[in-house]
Amino acid sequence: MTDETKQQQVDKVMALLSTYAGRSLGDSPETRGLAFNEIGMSSLTMASAVVELEERLDRQFDFRAFAGVKNVGDLLRAIGLS
């Protein structure tokens, strides 16, 4: 995976999360520190976002990898993009 591809994938994650947040989320330290409850995401919408990420990134995740994920940075780490 090149750095450019990785950043493109991060941008896809941010674009998806923006749809849940109802506002544009750029990739920044502030955004990565945002907790999911701060952008209005429940456990269910979180699961929905993960499934949508599987489609957008053409990957399949083990949901157990998301245990303890609380903010955007955690999510990026869980899917190997940080």
Partner 1 sequence: MIIDCHTHLASPMVLPPVFFDGWTDNIRRLLPPKLPRAHVDRIAQSFRLALEDPDGDQLIADMDAAGVDVAVLHIIDFELGFPGRVTPLDEVFAAHRRVLARHPGRVVVFAGVDPRRGKSGVELFERSIAEWGFKGLKLYPPCGFSPSDPALDPFYDLCAQHRVPVLTHTGPTTPRLSFRHTHPSELDDAARRFPTVDFVLGHGSVVHRDDAALLAEFRPNIYLDTAGFQVVDRQGEWSSSVAFFKRRGLLRKLLFGTDWPIHSQVATTAAARQRLAGPDTGGLTPMELQWILETNAREVLKIDAPSSAPANTTP
58 makes contact with partner 1 (CB under 8 A): no
Please report, to the nearest 10 degrees, the dihedral formed by the alpha carbons of residues 24, 72, 51, 45 taken in order: -80
22 makes contact with partner 1 (CB under 8 A): no
- In the complex with partner 1, the residue whose CB is nearer, 1 or 44, is 44
**Do residues 50 and 66 touch, judged by C-beta distance below 8 A?**
yes
**Do residues 47 and 53 touch, judged by C-beta distance below 8 A?**
no
19 makes contact with partner 1 (CB under 8 A): no
- Chain contacts with partner 1 (rule: CB under 8 A): 35-38, 42-44, 46-48, 50-52, 54-55, 63-64, 66-68, 70
